[in-house]
Structure 1
């Protein structure tokens, strides 16, 4: 077998193993990412003997994967759901990260006895929550929208500032930078604001172009959406601002625009994100060498994790959310739900790639912290939500809506699914009260399809095909989502839902 063929075969086997590991992780309540990490470690020196020590390559691959994962997170973000939660989420992603960083730096120096530069790096690398870990675990918990939205928005927003802080602190630790605190903070603020502006601009341009040009396939819209988001990152990096904030903001704008094939786009981007996460964590598993671990690294990692989970994170949550009317139990749950995942480990590769002294020990400490405390926190989140009384068992499932343009007749074809738990089930076609000239042309139910009449009652699992005049699809989508949440008596006005068209 040729080396290229062997590499392709082994890559496919690794992906299959990771996919099966994801299934196991779901049953155990663990983020699948940890099992991907285990797969990588088994392929490394302690298992199959693959020796991977390309630090610069690991750093580059990690950043590239993070860009695509952030793009997927932005494309999947529901703007109308997170808008009410934006203020507390933004505060947690900025001030909260700063508070967590400061507390962990002090605790790392005075309690763990670390040098100030190492303690500061530890605080910065462990400050952000991980979007992939948070999203995957929260899918299994019926949280009220305001609580879920804060946690998900925070995890998507806090990556950019922490990347900038870790890069700056690594420069100080290696002697490449001697800037003071205020200049560093000013530079970080400018880069963040610049990245947000770049993201807004690229997202706006992407929306304008996508609405004017009809592509021959829905999959091309999905590819274009991801390409636009990555373009925002490249533009930000090119002009010297935060590419990570640019890619996330651009993806949010694109994902919430009035664009066709949004469901296809989100499905495609989710697949890309899964591939990136599999590759990233398998690579990090190869980079981690259990033989290199010492009891000192394990002890520092566990001690740092305890301080982070029981002191720094609760202080940061309390400082940022006390102004927004969250109840005590909600704040306690938010403190426990601050899962760490890929981002801290990726950030730990920055000092290694910069040849910082004892950077491998720093990487080991972060790895131990993430693995141990994710294994503790993630499986216990559903139980914690029950004990703290923050579960919303009545939360209805949103209808899934896809849009395909019909250029020849100036109309759109909406495909809507009635999921389990949706209040669309039991509603008649007449009770949908769709705008004039909007027609439910076909219902697919199980293995048969039929043309409905006004009295046809919708059932769970139905797939509706609706022909809608151009300009009406947002109204129709909002109406369907509203009924899916509120039932047949849902109000026509005062919508607080997000269209998926």
Structure 2
């Protein structure tokens, strides 16, 4: 007897299909590492193949469900971005990063809206909404591609892109929600619209900072016996903060991003296991949202808008993004090679496609057309920009190898499993210079064993002051290398 029935499918059939899609997606992630194809494209492709126009034949056109699930998943992704933002590494590029995330997002949206109105002949309300939706970037895809090619960005480019991509999603969400509210209630006027934005930003920032401190206090004082439950506690607190901020009229996305930064840059009980748990949850959220958006897209409906979509994608890649980078970071504040690279990696990712489901929430009359157009632009951006990023980074000579071989012979078997011998040279502009070891907030799995300073060797302690020119030796995991370069500067693996 079939107790549960959903559109003719049993519960077992739905669970089997969901498990199969998630499993295939995880295994297919190897394609990204081997061939340099963005994970977003892999997951979306699997969703499209499983959809009604693909071989799977799964019919899914519930935009309201996509809006709800997509918002929840995006919230978890945004929080994870905040947790992984190292304050010590972004501090040197804070002004540039804020300018790119705020002004760059606004300029990109404004330029795109103008192009859509003048060239694509879209109505102004549609054009402004479209500009807000596609204004954010996705640097996570950029760094996964670079890691697949065993390269890392040098200088401050990496920190700049990481901060911009993690912080411009809340800005784009902010703009999209604001534009939709204005479209649904045009009588409100510019003053009311501005008040709403100020309230959303103010409550979001306040709840994010205070909520982050509150979450940390609860975690540190919960007194739970089982370590594994701390990650579940953190997840519940984060979702609760997101929902509460939204209920009180603030931006929940901004609040949890700020809370993520607060938690990620302060010590708390079982921080390593909590971070691993939340990172896994963020991966699940990404897979779910990409598969769902792939199912939601109908190739037979997307292809008819290829001309408009291609024009818009080319404009954004070659005009809107470079112009936004130039206006947001003018003059000689950035090297020309870095400017070219940052301009090209304005990759459109998951956020625009999720935001493209928002117009359905207010029954916007041209919601379907905007979704199809945004989907085509994202696919074009991922293919054209995503695949060319590693080549461009090497061509512009702004990369360093993730692992640099050394001609030093070490006895085999002396290192703990998974650890590497590292040598650090503290550069002049390093965030660590002048800081105590205890204040560096080194990632879990990093052990500093000795510091060579002139003709002296020191055993580093919590109160040891790091100085420019120090040569530091220690142990670290492969995944810690990028963070150590952000903190200290030149970091090499001794092999």
Q: Would you say same fold, with TM above 0.5?
A: yes
Q: 2:355 maps to what in 1?
A: 347
Could you tell me which of 97, 115, 126 is aligned with 1:118? Answer: 126
Tell me, in whole angstroms, the C-alpha distance in 1 between the residues paired with 2:269 and 2:397: 39
| Count of equivalent residues | 437
Q: 1:215 maps to what in 2?
A: 224
Alpha-carbon displacement from aligned partner over 1:22-53 (angstroms, at most 9, x marks no partner): 11122222221221111111111122221111
Q: 1:275 maps to what in 2?
A: 284
Cα separation, partners in 2 of 1:459 and 1:293, compared to 1, 3 Å? closer
Alpha-carbon displacement from aligned partner over 1:142-197 (angstroms, at most 9, x marks no partner): 11252111111111111222212212323444x43333345423422331232011
Higher mean C-alpha displacement, 105-114 vs 58-67: 105-114
Kindly indicate whether residue 31 of structure 2 is the aligned counterpart of residue 24 of structure 1: yes
The offset of 1:88, in angstroms, is 1.3
Could you tell me which of 365, 371, 374 is aligned with 1:357? Answer: 365
Q: What root-mean-square deviation, in Å, do the aligned CA atoms of Structure 1 and Structure 2 show? A: 3.2
The offset of 1:390, in angstroms, is 1.4
Could you tell me which of 156, 174, 189 is aligned with 1:164? Answer: 174
Cα separation, partners in 2 of 1:103 and 1:356, compared to 1, 3 Å? same
Q: 1:195 maps to what in 2?
A: 204
Q: 1:90 maps to what in 2?
A: 98
Kindly indicate whether residue 187 of structure 2 is the aligned counterpart of residue 178 of structure 1: yes
Alpha-carbon displacement from aligned partner over 1:393-428 (angstroms, at most 9, x marks no partner): 4xxx7xxxxxxxxxxxxxxxxxxxxxx6699x9999
Tell me, in whole angstroms, the C-alpha distance in 2 between the residues paired with 1:477 and 1:185: 38
Instruction: Please give the secondary structure, in 1, of the residue aligned with 2:372.
Output: helix
Tell me, in whole angstroms, the C-alpha distance in 2 between the residues paired with 1:292 and 1:392: 43
Q: How does 1:190-339 map to 2 (within 5 A)?
A: 190-295=199-304, 297-322=305-330, 325-339=333-347
The offset of 1:73, in angstroms, is 1.4
Cα separation, partners in 2 of 1:271 and 1:238, compared to 1, 3 Å? same
Q: 2:383 maps to what in 1?
A: 375
| Contact 2:88–2:440 (8 Å) recurs in 1 | no
The offset of 1:475, in angstroms, is 6.8
Kindly indicate whether residue 145 of structure 2 is the aligned counterpart of residue 137 of structure 1: yes
Instruction: Please give the secondary structure, in 1, of the residue aligned with 2:56.
Output: coil
5+ residue gaps, structure 1, are: 398-419, 429-442, 448-457, 462-471
The offset of 1:294, in angstroms, is 4.3
Q: State TM-score, norm by structure 2.
A: 0.80
Instruction: Please give the secondary structure, in 1, of the residue aligned with 2:188.
Output: coil
The offset of 1:323, in angstroms, is 5.7
Instruction: Please give the secondary structure, in 2, of the residue aligned with 1:91.
Output: helix
Instruction: Please give the secondary structure, in 2, of the residue aligned with 1:339.
Output: coil
Cα separation, partners in 2 of 1:126 and 1:240, compared to 1, 3 Å? same
Q: 1:466 maps to what in 2?
A: none
Tell me, in whole angstroms, the C-alpha distance in 2 between the residues paired with 1:370 and 1:238: 31
Q: State TM-score, norm by structure 1.
A: 0.79
Cα separation, partners in 2 of 1:131 and 1:219, compared to 1, 3 Å? farther
Tell me, in whole angstroms, the C-alpha distance in 2 between the residues paired with 1:360 and 1:145: 43
Instruction: Please give the secondary structure, in 2, of the residue aligned with 1:156.
Output: helix
Cα separation, partners in 2 of 1:25 and 1:459, compared to 1, 3 Å? closer
The offset of 1:358, in angstroms, is 2.4
